[in-house]
Structure 1
Amino acid sequence: MAGQNCRVTVVLLGGLLLLAVLLMRGAEASEIALPQGSNITILIKRGTSAPPAKPCFIIVSKRHMTVLFIKAGEKMVFTFSCQDPQNHFVMEIQKNIDCMSGPCPFGEVQLQPATSTLPTLNRTFIWDVKAHKRIGLELQFSLPRLRQIGPGESCADGVTHSISGRIDATVVRIGIFCSNGTVSRIKMQEGVKMALHLPWFHPRNVSGFSIANRSSIKRLCIIESVFEGEGSATLMSANYPEGFPEDELMTWQFVVPAHLRASVTFLTFNVSNCEKKEERVEYYIPGSTTNPEVFKLEDKQPGNMAGNFNLSLQGCDQDAQNPGILRLQFQVLVQHPQNESNKTYIVDLSQERTMSITIEPRPVKQSRRFVPGCFVCLESRTCSDNVTLTPGSKHKISFLCDDLTRLWLNAEKTISCTDHRYCHRKSYQLQVPSDLLQLPVQLHDFSWKLLVPKDRLSLVLVPKQKLQQHTHEKVCNTSFSYLVATHLATPGQELYYGSFCPGPGGSIEQIQVKQNSSVTLRTFAPGFQQEFYKQGLTVSFTPHFKEDGIFTVTPDTKNKVYLRTPNWERGLPALSSLSWNISVPHDQVACLTFFKERIGVVCQTGWALMIIQEQRSQPEEIFNLEEVMLPKPSFHYHNFWVNISNCSPVSGKQLDLLFWVTLTPKTLDLTAIIITVVAGGALLLLALGLIICFVKRKKKKNKGPAVGIYNGNANTQVPRQLKKFHKGRKDNDSHVYAVIDDTMVYGHLLQDSNGSFLQPEVDTYRPFQGPTGDCPPSPPPICSRTPTAKLTTEELPPCISPESESEPYTFSHPNKVEVGNGDTDIPLLDTQEPVKPAE
């Protein structure tokens, strides 16, 4: 271990010494001598970096200069005024080669002058070769070959090759290249300009290419790309990302081993505005009977090709006023053929009108090593990594992929109702077609878009098995789930109801949604094929309702049911309203518990309210979620509603609510038993007393007819003054009756002039006797307020009625009684004269 550390130290010291030598060399005098007639010039100038705090100059014969130009046949001795000239100056060495006035110096190109004789500056060697229009020049690159890079990319070692061509007096950039690629040759006509950029620290002393003479190629250029094994190459049209020259032709030749397969994918492209001809790409594939095969740029490009092939880009005559831009960036992927390459699958969508299928790569992390591509091929030739199968047709597909788990399938189907009279109460089954599961790729999403007439119909979703809502407290562990969402009236807002999965602990029997919605079946594992039978939803069109969503919940007796408001991550949308209709079996008691004591929502306008109401004419409980703490755990013996209505919340203070329901069996209370026994005994005694009274009355009736004697001389008024009675009670017979019969002998005093009995004025409220469990409690009106007023427990919001119409009350209105000034006694009966009863 110590020896290894010692070697690392030596290497570091050696690197520091080399750097010091190079820095010292920058301050030493440099001598450059260019041979006469070499057509070489050298330009030393300031770089493009920001000007340094301390300026640096070129010193020639004690003169300080910022630019130094050396021509052929000249000798120059110079130094720099700083120790790090490589940070301030760059050097360009250009050699002009004229192949029109004399023979071209074909063969390997040398670096002149040698890099060892040049100062330690970033240097660029430029070869500008001029040739006749009918002469083709070929740049041949020895190993390592070149790799084209796009705008903004750079080479790892800092060595770049910039290659340009010429059309008359116009320079056309072919591209910028790094080392370690597949480009082996570039052929051009009418001259070439090659620039090799070397960083000041790079020890390279060879150009790495040679120039050869070729016949006319009758096009802008030809780029040859050689594959020796599996790999990929990204290539671009000339002048990329600017426009391809008008009405020009450019060709790429690909050399591919016979045992490998090649596929072409267009990454980005643009087309120009053509006046004449048409922009296109042409393929020449050996063995093809339709050469050249012509494609538009927007078409799916060929794949699964064996052997060498050519690809050409053809421009057009562009509109002079609005030419547009033609450009192309594409990738060629070469890999071994796969087992799936020879299998064909048929996807029949001929009977479908609104269903489409997309097969595409699943997202993966990028890797620097070569990764074979995954392609889907239509009719075995047109291949792409992303294929959409349209409705109304039958499709034949095959796969060119080493690992089919890297692909997945997404499908979409639209179910719409345009006439509410036709589709009212109509239902549809939401099920994944079994044919899709025969494909060798995993189903990721199957989405149904459900469209209804606005303010006419709503939707009801009924699952084949009861659903469980996915929460952090109780996650779904199935291989698939349903994602339910709807678009709100506010543009850009979506109400995401949540993720639901079927299972033994499910409790949600029905989900009602107000307007256009989407239901997405999403799979999480290949095991979906084994659980395929569990999937199934029925959607029905129902009359429109005002709430955004209603959940029908029947809690499981063995499991805790977790429920939460939609848009959990972002908060319930403004002014939305949700209800949960929770059923309680007759032999169970439901305990409702909230996760937090406070919500934390802050309202800008309106009220954030929660209503809890049992469905047995119990008074509703209203809670202001902005101010009032959530209720403690409460017990409910009957079905009940939980309704949430949101306000317009302040940004960052959203409404989200999590609660759960548990069921426990009812137990007999000892106090209730005692009360029941006592009440039963009292009823028994009362029954015995009534029987005894009834027997005694029968006996009296058997003795003779009952006679009631009325004393008409008696004063029937309550005595007001003692002096009006001249005899005491014991001296008169006004209190003597023979028998008081069942019929009240004073009944005539309660009769009016028509003979009917007077009744007290009574106003009685009759409660609603119809069903109370079908509709959720209507939330109080949401009123705008600025600023927000605080709602207390003693005070109701201004637009909430102080009394609910469902509360039973009885109002009795007694008759007014006039009382005299000196009379403080209240008469027992009206003071009208008695009327003799009719016989």
Structure 2
Amino acid sequence: MAGLSCRVTVALLGALLLGAARLPRGTDASEIVLPPGSSITVLIKQGTPDLPAKPCYIVVSRRHLTVLFIKAGEKVVVTFTCQNPEKHFVLEIQKNIDCVSSSCPLGEIQLQPSISALPTLNRTFTWDVKGSKSMGLELQFSAPRLRQIGPGESCEDGVTHSISGHINTALVRIGTFCRNGTVSRIKMQEGVKVALHLPWFYHRNSSGFSIANHSSIKRLCVIESEFEGEGSATLMSANYPEGFPEDELMTWQFIVPAHLRASVSFLSFNVSNCEKKEERVEYYIPGSTTNPEVFKLEDKQPGNMAGNFNLSLQGCDQDAQSPGILRLQFQVLVQHPQNESNKTYVVDLSQERTMSLTIEPRPVKQSRKFVPGCFVCLESRTCSSNVTLTAGSKHKLSFLCDDLTRLWVNAEKTISCVDYRYCHRKTYPLQVPSDILQLPVQLHDFSWKLLVPKDRLSLVLVPAQKLQQHTHERACNTSFSYLVTSSAPSHDLYFGAFCPGGSVEQIQLKQNSSVTLRTFAPSFQQEASRQGLTVSFIPYFKEEGIFTVTPDTTSKVYLRTPNWDRGLPALSSVSWNISVPSDQVACLTFFKERTGVVCQSGRAFMIIQEQRSRAEAIFSLEEEVLPQPSFHRHNFWVNISNCSPASGKQLDLLFWVTLTPRTTDLPVVIIAVVGGGALLLFALGLIIYLVKKKKKKMNKGPAVGIYNGNINTHMPGQPKKFQKGRKDNESHVYAVIDDTMVYGHLLQDSNGSFLRPEVDTYRPFQGPMGDFPPSPPPICSRAPTAKLTTEEPPSCIPSESESEPYTFSHPNKGDTSNRDTDIPLLDTQEPVEPAE
């Protein structure tokens, strides 16, 4: 019986223990005791999480509450109805300390009540210390020191210190701080309020700071930042990002080891509208004979400073109607002195008028590891992470940087033409000045902005060495390239990247353009002699750009339309003038069969024109297949004109040109010679037969079409072609008789004199094409190919064929049978292209 009773007791005890284990943690009771006269209050209130599915309450003496306020001298036992109350409630403990009517509790500040006696909630301890206006209070922070954070930032461990000061009845926020920084002390005037936020899972019983009485500091506050080695600190003015209090003074004291150097750079700032005084920063620098050194906020700040120094921010009396905002965020970088800080470089821009130069950090990935800063110093004292040098002055530079490859140089120069009469045919070199090349920092970009009068002049770029266009098929592998862009009101046109060692002899640009020399490797310093480009102002033309290309006999020449990634702009036209050496044959090949462009309005065309024969092949880029590889023995044009393409259907073309030596086949030459001779003999026989036949007809009737022998047609210095007299040969008889000769009597005027029609000879153009590319065909043209000339505008009406006969008519005024002439028989055949 006793054994059975023992087993029942054990079972009941186990059930009770199991039930206790299964009870929610929130039901654990916390006894909060606040001693009388401690000036401590405790507030438990709801936080701001999402509303739970089941509400949670504070339980005190069987009452369910959502807010609990405990005053000094009270004792309260607190539980919660939910398992995780830290998700629903926060705990605020505030202690008021009066240092005016009673003595201050100096020394280290302890947490009261103890953490172990408080519920497991997110806790905020606040100490509000009241002092007199002539009294200074000092907060000392033990290691690890504090690091100031800006709006929106948070601390990794969730532990933060928020510090504010008093100005009369107003509260001024000094800043929010995390642990592991450089701030070791903060001195306040009149009073201070410190709030320590601890997350619910963080357990500690010390506040991490102590309070000491201090003499008056006669300013809003003093923040001491102490460096033990290399590092950086980012600090902000009071009330940041809101405005700094009006006409106040705030100071930062920096303690720097003697073997290190400090530099200050302003990250961001704003100035207010001052009615009296002036906003400024003041430095007290060891060894300076001009302390305090005064700077404006927009000035470059001191760098390469040895030893401790102070920085103060002074406000002003603001305009009551429009006060504005004074705020400052800055960084102090402490590092070992650099070797470059003792070298001075001179950049002389005194003769320049439109040039500027900027030295700045190149973009890098952010790292938590400390990275020494790179600063550029003017006159060895005013240092900044980026410096802009303006035209008209001579500048002396030094560098405070452990690795100068982390900096680069960007420069810009403007070349403009205001009076087109003065600029016409003017040439300007596009060269990087030697002062920039001698800097120990890599040049990234040097841009020339080229401005021309609208519709008056255009531009031509001529390189010292022929250029290669960068494409995926043949990429530039040089240390620099030229990026060519033109600008128009409706669009910017990127012509591409070009590097030395290609086939492009010149680039003509219609309008305002920009040429940027961009480097890709430090080796540019050694290859700088290869850079050389000149720009000239030439007569205006209407195409967006014209490329002059002389292909290399040893490799392909890849060319592509501008705006490769976005497509050629609407209603724009670009041409390539491609030269072919006399002993070579050029093969033109396109990368794809179709362009894929879809026109919303207008037509997209490509014209391929032989410059010698002037034969044009016209292709509709919207409808037709691009031509198969074609061979050209003479210089030729490639012109591409865009329509207004539909959205998402852009025009971009890639093509290439290759050269191969010309070959002559001996049997072909023999056949051509024999065939040509036979054809010539047949033509002469036919002409003689026709002349004799016409002569017989003329003898039967009146003379028609007889040449007027009264005119002396003998050309000086020309030997006679015909030794017989005119009456003994038939050279004066025309092979073709026009109707105006037969009906010449109808051309008589009222006085009986003859009206003389114009006399001319058709002479097809046999010379070079010239500098002008082919014009696009008319919109109504639908044929894939056509014969056009640049001397006659294209028309939708078919023109006369070149094979049609040209006739001449001269009224007869007398007997010409006894006259001689030295003019040979007129040949009505088309000219034959000279043999290759």
Length-normalised TM-score, structure 1: 0.83
Matches within 5 A, 1:527-606: 527-606=523-602
**Displacement, 1:619?**
2.9
SS of the aligned residue for 2:206 comes to coil
C-alpha spacing 1:743/1:287, structure 2 compared with 1 (3 Å): closer
Task: Specify the alignment match of 1:268 in structure 2.
Answer: 268
C-alpha spacing 1:477/1:253, structure 2 compared with 1 (3 Å): same
Partners of 2:762 and 2:681 in 1: how far apart?
34
Task: Specify the alignment match of 2:641 in structure 1.
Answer: 645
Task: Specify the alignment match of 1:629 in structure 2.
Answer: 625
Task: Specify the alignment match of 1:403 in structure 2.
Answer: 403
C-alpha spacing 1:143/1:805, structure 2 compared with 1 (3 Å): farther
SS of the aligned residue for 1:208 comes to strand
Task: Specify the alignment match of 1:780 in structure 2.
Answer: 777
**Displacement, 1:809?**
5.2
SS of the aligned residue for 1:283 comes to strand
Deviations 1:745-779 (A, max 9, x none): x99x9977879999999998654466423210011
Match of 2:658 among 653, 659, 662: 662
Which residue identity lines up with residue 537 of structure 1 in the other structure?
L
SS of the aligned residue for 2:388 comes to strand
Matches within 5 A, 1:78-93: 78-93=78-93
Contact 1:751-1:758 within 8 A present in 2 as well: no
Contact 1:467-1:500 within 8 A present in 2 as well: yes
Which residue identity lines up with residue 581 of structure 1 in the other structure?
N
Match of 2:795 among 801, 806, 809: 801
C-alpha spacing 1:555/1:42, structure 2 compared with 1 (3 Å): same
Task: Specify the alignment match of 2:463 in structure 1.
Answer: 463
**Displacement, 1:78?**
2.0
Contact 1:752-1:758 within 8 A present in 2 as well: no
C-alpha spacing 1:397/1:780, structure 2 compared with 1 (3 Å): same
Deviations 1:168-188 (A, max 9, x none): 111100000000000000000
Which residue identity lines up with residue 298 of structure 1 in the other structure?
E
C-alpha spacing 1:688/1:762, structure 2 compared with 1 (3 Å): closer
Task: Specify the alignment match of 2:616 in structure 1.
Answer: 620
Contact 1:507-1:555 within 8 A present in 2 as well: yes
Task: Specify the alignment match of 1:499 in structure 2.
Answer: 497
Partners of 1:270 and 1:566 in 2: how far apart?
43
Partners of 1:455 and 1:711 in 2: how far apart?
65
Which residue identity lines up with residue 268 of structure 1 in the other structure?
S
Deviations 1:347-404 (A, max 9, x none): 1111222222111111111111110000010111100011111111111111100011
When structure 1 is superposed on structure 2, of 231-240 and 626-635 the one drifting more is: 626-635
Which residue identity lines up with residue 804 of structure 2 in the other structure?
T
Contact 1:763-1:811 within 8 A present in 2 as well: no
When structure 1 is superposed on structure 2, of 422-431 and 348-357 the one drifting more is: 348-357
SS of the aligned residue for 2:212 comes to strand
C-alpha spacing 1:743/1:636, structure 2 compared with 1 (3 Å): closer
Which residue identity lines up with residue 802 of structure 1 in the other structure?
C
Deviations 1:543-572 (A, max 9, x none): 111111000000001110000111111211
**Displacement, 1:235?**
0.3
Task: Specify the alignment match of 1:115 in structure 2.
Answer: 115
**Displacement, 1:689?**
9.4
Contact 2:25-2:84 within 8 A present in 1 as well: no
Partners of 1:806 and 1:145 in 2: how far apart?
96
Partners of 2:133 and 2:799 in 1: how far apart?
97
Deviations 1:200-242 (A, max 9, x none): 0112221100000000111110000000000000000000000
Contact 2:778-2:795 within 8 A present in 1 as well: no
When structure 1 is superposed on structure 2, of 652-661 and 275-284 the one drifting more is: 652-661
Contact 1:619-1:807 within 8 A present in 2 as well: no
Contact 1:481-1:500 within 8 A present in 2 as well: yes
Partners of 2:643 and 2:631 in 1: how far apart?
28
Partners of 1:40 and 1:802 in 2: how far apart?
99
SS of the aligned residue for 1:224 comes to strand
Count of equivalent residues: 745
Task: Specify the alignment match of 2:804 in structure 1.
Answer: 810
Which residue identity lines up with residue 808 of structure 1 in the other structure?
E
C-alpha spacing 1:711/1:130, structure 2 compared with 1 (3 Å): closer
Partners of 1:450 and 1:129 in 2: how far apart?
66
Partners of 2:535 and 2:250 in 1: how far apart?
56
C-alpha spacing 1:545/1:782, structure 2 compared with 1 (3 Å): farther
SS of the aligned residue for 1:341 comes to helix
Task: Specify the alignment match of 2:713 in structure 1.
Answer: none
Contact 2:26-2:81 within 8 A present in 1 as well: no
When structure 1 is superposed on structure 2, of 760-769 and 542-551 the one drifting more is: 760-769
C-alpha spacing 1:65/1:812, structure 2 compared with 1 (3 Å): same
Length-normalised TM-score, structure 2: 0.84
Task: Specify the alignment match of 1:149 in structure 2.
Answer: 149
Deviations 1:136-185 (A, max 9, x none): 00110000000000011000001111101111111100000000000000
Q: Which runs of 5+ in 2 are unaligned?
A: 1-19, 702-727, 748-753, 788-792, 810-816, 819-836
Task: Specify the alignment match of 2:4 in structure 1.
Answer: none
Task: Specify the alignment match of 1:610 in structure 2.
Answer: 606
Task: Specify the alignment match of 1:483 in structure 2.
Answer: 483
Matches within 5 A, 1:174-213: 174-213=174-213
**1:678 maps onto 2:674 in alignment:** yes
Matches within 5 A, 1:141-540: 141-490=141-490, 493-503=491-501, 506-540=502-536
C-alpha spacing 1:361/1:803, structure 2 compared with 1 (3 Å): farther
C-alpha spacing 1:95/1:665, structure 2 compared with 1 (3 Å): same
Contact 1:763-1:810 within 8 A present in 2 as well: no
Partners of 2:272 and 2:418 in 1: how far apart?
41
C-alpha spacing 1:544/1:486, structure 2 compared with 1 (3 Å): same
Which residue identity lines up with residue 414 of structure 2 in the other structure?
T
Deviations 1:558-596 (A, max 9, x none): 110000111111211222211000111122111111111
Deviations 1:8-40 (A, max 9, x none): xxxxxxxxxxxx999943221221111111111
C-alpha spacing 1:230/1:807, structure 2 compared with 1 (3 Å): farther
Partners of 2:643 and 2:742 in 1: how far apart?
60
Partners of 1:582 and 1:711 in 2: how far apart?
58
Matches within 5 A, 1:90-101: 90-101=90-101
Task: Specify the alignment match of 1:11 in structure 2.
Answer: none
C-alpha spacing 1:549/1:795, structure 2 compared with 1 (3 Å): closer
C-alpha spacing 1:90/1:678, structure 2 compared with 1 (3 Å): same
Task: Specify the alignment match of 1:30 in structure 2.
Answer: 30
Partners of 1:422 and 1:207 in 2: how far apart?
78
SS of the aligned residue for 2:207 comes to coil
Percent of paired sites with the same residue: 78
Which residue identity lines up with residue 502 of structure 1 in the other structure?
P
C-alpha spacing 1:687/1:316, structure 2 compared with 1 (3 Å): closer
Contact 2:137-2:189 within 8 A present in 1 as well: yes
Deviations 1:77-121 (A, max 9, x none): 121111010111100011111111110101000001111111111
Task: Specify the alignment match of 2:723 in structure 1.
Answer: none
Contact 2:268-2:328 within 8 A present in 1 as well: yes
Which residue identity lines up with residue 599 of structure 1 in the other structure?
T
Partners of 1:293 and 1:814 in 2: how far apart?
98
C-alpha spacing 1:711/1:455, structure 2 compared with 1 (3 Å): closer
**Displacement, 1:806?**
11
Task: Specify the alignment match of 2:825 in structure 1.
Answer: none
C-alpha spacing 1:771/1:44, structure 2 compared with 1 (3 Å): same
Which residue identity lines up with residue 574 of structure 2 in the other structure?
L
C-alpha spacing 1:255/1:781, structure 2 compared with 1 (3 Å): farther
Deviations 1:409-440 (A, max 9, x none): 11211111111111111111111122222111
SS of the aligned residue for 1:297 comes to coil
Partners of 1:163 and 1:35 in 2: how far apart?
26
